[in-house]
Structure 1
Amino acid sequence: MQKAYDYIIIGGGSAGSVLAARLSEDPTAQVLLLEAGGRDSHPFYHLPAGFAKMTKGIGSWGWQTVPQRHMKGMQIRYTQAKVIGGGSSINAQIYTRGNALDYDEWRQLGCSGWSYEDVLPYFRKAEDNDSFDNRYHGKGGPLGVSQPRAPLPICEAWFAAAAQMGIPRNHDLTGESQDGVGYYQLTQRHYRRSSAAIAYLRPAQHRPNLTVKTGVQVLRIVVEKGRAVGVETPDGVLRASSEVILSAGAIGSPRLLQLSGIGPADELRNLGIPVVLDQPEVGANLQDHLDLFVIAECTGPHTYDRFAKPHLSALAGLQYLLTRRGPVASSLFETGGFWYAEEGARSPDIQFHLGLGSGIEAGVAAMPQGGVTLNSAYLRPRSRGTVRLASSDPLAAPLIDPNYWEDPHDREMSIRGLKLAREMMAQEALHPYVLAERLPGPNVRTDQDYFDYACQHAKTDHHPSGTCRMGQDAQAVVNPELRFNGIEGLRVVDASVMPRVVSSNTNAPTIMIAEKAADMIKAARPGSGALQ
């Protein structure tokens, strides 16, 4: 006889792992978590420097964008996690939240209950911070948040270079002010990755009311008489008596909704998919941060590039095992900050990540003598893209179109950010460490040169959002309680609900969204005293 579940959560990523742990705190609630990917058993998932392997295919669906029509048709590798813990298991572990004004803007867009003061308690609730316990940070939560273990002297030189440009040092980039440069805190505990799977699921895994199944791809959400009642898998239908919660991410969630007949009706009919609900906004409003970078060759072994050699790599592994220090203890991008491209911007609109090497990510060149990378990304793009289906085959890759630089303002600000990055790397404070800039290189001078360079070397910052946007208007996909508009018993809980992408990395905000959603779902459970 099939087991009865109250909640079925689709997707075991950052949000799904949080939800499974929090909802199963109620011993009377039967919770099922379904993840298409596998377990996080490979050691690369737990070593901080394992991030360098992730954008090259480990734990990923292996997708790419469609040709970007505003960038000479370039296609960009689009890493999306396919493993328990989702993005939190494969990302660079950078703990940022965006700017307080991002959330106040959400409230102004009709998302009541999502202002900065509304969401700050959930950021604090999630945290077990090794350095701060104040208005902005908390201790004792599930998620390890730590200072970096393995910065190098070149990081301090970069801070000095920023100061020469008038950019201040900031010792807490998720505190009172976002402005400036510093060390990012990392989602680590004891110098190991603190993914949502490790932080939330592992302590809950022995609860008798929590079932976690990996390697299960959901084919569609089952809707009967306007209510989501379960999911179809290759092995049959699983039913939920209370709610189906979709947490498959900003690409996976709209993809599954469309496979279920929920989305733009004309497009679904053209693919032969029976229409359950015509909702054109499903898969629309895709936002992402596009990344441009500077790579410089170093004057000596000042970064971790030297450890790419097999014998030194083995030595680095031994150092980490014995001391929890060295290159393996580094996320490789724990240095960075926020500054301004646009005069009069309401808060920083450029984010920097200093990479302690070259060739760290897929598609990024490596320097033969060792190098350093400085990434820059424009944080508040105006361009909007889509996630659509290529076919009705649930195993087919979706059509991911971030539509980068549709709005010329995004192109202008991105190039300004790259110019700032080049200026930083040329400062006197970095002369002892930097031999010469190799990319973009001395031949890139005009705006057309910058555009041509970007169309060869741009990459995603892995921050897709907005494709099931939250709001109170009739076109919104979900309401501020994250209930799906037009289908009962269905919620979406992940980065897809963001009405606008936050001005930073998106993993910590996604965990916050799930923490807040868990409280709303618990409050709606029969017997809680709240209305269903």
Structure 2
Amino acid sequence: MTKETSNYDYIVVGAGSAGAIVATRLTEDPSTRVLLIEAGPEDSSYWSKVPIGFAKILIDDRYMWNYETQPEPELKGRSFPLPHGKVVGGSSAVNGLVFTRGLPYDYDSWVKMGAKGWGADDTLPYFRKLESWAGGSDAFHGGDGPTGVENARWQTPLADAFIAAAMNTGLPRNDDFNGAKRDGVGYAPLDTRRGRRSSTSEAYIKPNRNRTNLHIITEALVTRILLEGRRAVGVAYERGNQEHEARANAEVILSAGALHTPHLLQISGIGPGALLQANGVPVIRDLKGVGENLMDHVQTGRTYITNSPHTFNRAVGNPVSQLKAGINYYMGPRNGALTNGPSSVIAYLRSSDGLEEADVLMHFLPFLPDDTGWGLNKQSGFRIAMFKSRPESRGFVRLSSPDPKAAPSIVFNHLSTQSDVDTLLYGMRFAKQMSETAPLSQHVIKELDPGQQGESEEGLLSFIRGNANTSFHYAGTARMGDDDLAVLDPSLRVRGIDRLRVIDASAMPTITSGNINPAVLMIGEKGADLIRST
């Protein structure tokens, strides 16, 4: 066993969306020494900078964790992969870029569950702090924060047709989904600055990398939290073929994400006592909520062949179009396909008139994948995808072995409530209506999926159960609250363990109504302030 030659004030585990923010904010004080440990490599891939490069990154094991679920009971017993970022910047360096904060309702519901200080009015200043909105500073947006945010730059006649069709069904136009209103349809806000991905690696780490009080170790797997009684004093980690220990004089902060953070807690003896004992892990603190409350947005959708050339299939599907797209990106106005993630347009809608807030988020994805699921089909196509904004289904992350390198058992229990099923059925029916509404209908040649299977309610539900998949929005497995399943207090401290906090998506009491990365960034910003003030 080799040990670090010097101690640190803080150790942050995970250099992803939240951890990168925590480490850089804490080291704004030059007297504060921080060790930031990341299991993956540096963010050196070309494809992590170009927005469309997400498709290349997701299949690259160098930069991705590739866990898999256990068979999902309500998805016809299917297991599916769970790719997520293993790189400096974490999932902010590899995700689909859509920058939706969610609804004020989401954060106010956190307060009702015991997360005092996390309501919509409490969190707005942190969203403004982290953001550099292309439209400039106002009551809802920041204008000079580290993270660039702008509406999709690739605005095409096909995307315009989708927007117009949605408006013809009664949805209002919305050009600012993080402003005063959320309902409606419009171009998606993206986590980009002038068409370039604005990950926490680019926005937080890169400008501050030379701070002498910020020590970053990559390709290092944290294997357990070092505890003296019920007090966190450091971490053990492996790098190369060596084992190391690092000590923290102030606190250990877990920012490893909603799948890894609960697993690391459990491996270290913090979690459901019976589960730990069954796996040969001595119980330090029996906290039955660790690893429970796992949430995700399960998504489904309809797929079409189109007569439009304004899809990824045509824009970057052959050498000539790739050359044109490259010229646009590197020498032109940078408003082409390379500036986009998978979604170019989104829509918030309500499955019932009596709902207080929108409960369906719909995405327009202008591409048709090939049979592998990752490449581009030779035909031009698009997909209308959707998920329920606030699903009721809950799953778990549970250690399967005392070996920290053994993957945990993960089950989401997607579509285990009737409400979740009914909302997706509504979304699929609405998507069908959209495809048959002008002017989008003029661009549809054929519906591929679900096709004839979706003509009956029974067939449509069977299609959903057989094809629905993750949105990669893992959250909630060490949640804040005041009940017996709460793992954290509102200051993000682990209950019953001194000097240990969780600052990542695990802390969410409920999932936010949209792509969750903006909320994780906010948790990082607010979490850093909580450390400095408590």
> Could you state the TM-score of these two structures normalised by the residue count of structure 1?
0.95
Partner of 1:313: 322
Q: Is the 8 A contact 2:163 2:345 kept in 1?
A: no
Mapping of 1:15-164 within 5 angstroms?
A: 15-57=18-60, 59-164=63-168
- 1:199 corresponds, among 175, 186, 203, to 203
Letter in 1 for 2:321: L
Q: The residue matched to 1:103 in structure 2 has which SS?
A: helix
Q: Which moved more, 1:48-57 or 1:257-266?
A: 48-57
Residue 288 of structure 1 aligns with which residue? 296
- Describe the SS at the equivalent of 1:88: helix
Gaps of 5+ in 2: none
Q: How far apart, CA to CA, are the structure 2 residues paired with 1:295 and 1:445? A: 14
Match of 1:219 in 2: 223
SS in 2 for 1:160: helix
Q: Conserved in 2, the CA contact under 8 Å of 1:68 and 1:401? A: yes
Show CA shifts across 1:72-112 (max 9, x none).
10112212211111111011111110001111111111111
What is the letter of the counterpart of residue 317 of structure 2? A
- 1:361 Cα offset (Å): 11
Report if the CA contact (8 A) 2:303-2:384 is conserved.
yes
Letter in 1 for 2:432: R
Please point out which of 258, 262, 265 is paired with 1:257.
265
Give CA-to-partner distance per residue, 1:45-92, whole Å, 9 cap, x none. Answer: 000101222333452111121110112101122122111111110111
Matches within 5 A, 1:432-471: 432-471=442-481
1:359 to 353, 358, 369: 369
- The residue identity in structure 1 corresponding to 2:256 is A
Aligned length: 524
What 5-or-longer segments of structure 1 have no aligned partner? 525-532
Cα distance, 1:335 vs structure 2: 1.0
Does the 8 Å contact 1:173/1:337 carry over to 2? Answer: no
Change (3 A) 1:62 1:419: same
Quote the residue 1:482 is aligned against.
492
**1:504 corresponds to which residue?**
514
Moved more, 312-321 or 44-53: 312-321
Contact 2:162 2:439 survives alignment (8 Å) = yes
Q: Please list every run of at least 4 consecutive aligned residues from structure 1 whose deviation after the TM superposition is greater than 4 angstroms.
A: 364-367
Q: Under a length normalisation based on structure 2, what TM-score does the superposition of the two structures give?
A: 0.95
Alpha-carbon spacing, 1:360–1:263, altered in 2? closer, same or farther (3 Å): farther
| Residue equivalent to 2:395 | 385
% identical aligned pairs: 40
Q: What is the letter of the counterpart of residue 294 of structure 1?
A: R
Matched, 1:168 2:172: yes
Alignment match, 1:247: 255
Contact 2:14 2:39 in 1 (8 A): yes
2:53 match: secondary structure: helix
User: d(CA) in 2 for partners of 1:250 and 1:8?
Assistant: 18
For residues 352-401 of structure 1, give each alpha carbon's deviation from its aligned partner in whole angstroms, at most 9, with x where no partner exists.
Answer: 11111111897479654210111110111111100012222222222111
Give 1:394's match in structure 2, choosing from 394, 404, 412.
Answer: 404
**CA distance in 2: counterparts of 1:169 and 1:19, whole angstroms:** 36
Query: Helix, strand or coil for the counterpart of 2:455?
Result: coil
Aligned to 1:347: 357
- Counterpart of 2:346 (choices 329, 336, 346) is 336
| Cα distance change on mapping 1:509 and 1:125 into 2, 3 Å | same
Q: Which amino acid aligns with 2:43?
A: D
> 2:416 maps to which residue?
406
CA-atom RMSD in angstroms: 1.6
CA distance in 2, matches of 1:360, 1:402: 27
Provide the C-alpha distance between the structure 2 equivalents of 1:366 and 1:374, rounded to a whole number of angstroms. Answer: 16
Give the C-alpha shift of residue 446 in structure 1: 2.1
Is 1:342–1:413's contact at 8 Å kept on the other side of the alignment?
Answer: no
Change over 3 Å in CA distance of 1:338–1:40 after alignment to 2: same
Displacement of 1:474 after TM fit? 4.1
Stretch of structure 1 that moved more, 58-67 or 121-130: 58-67
Give distance in 1, aligned partners of 2:375 and 2:340.
20
Post-superposition Cα deviations, 1:502-531, rounded to whole Å, max 9, x if no partner, equal 11110001110111111111123xxxxxxx
Which residue number corresponds to residue 14 of structure 2?
11
Structure 1 CA distance, aligned partners of 2:504 and 2:468?
A: 26
Question: Would you say 1:493 and 2:503 are equivalent positions?
Answer: yes
Is this contact kept in 2: 1:297–1:367, CA < 8 A? no
Cα distance between partner residues in 2 of 1:515 and 1:382: 27
| Alignment of 1:297 onto 2:305 | yes
The aligned counterpart of 1:278 is 286
**Counterpart Cα distance in 1 of 2:370 and 2:43:** 21
Report the Cα distance in structure 2 between the residues aligned to 1:246 and 1:361, rounded to whole angstroms.
38
Following the alignment from structure 1 to structure 2, what is the Cα–Cα distance between the partners of residues 273 and 517? 29
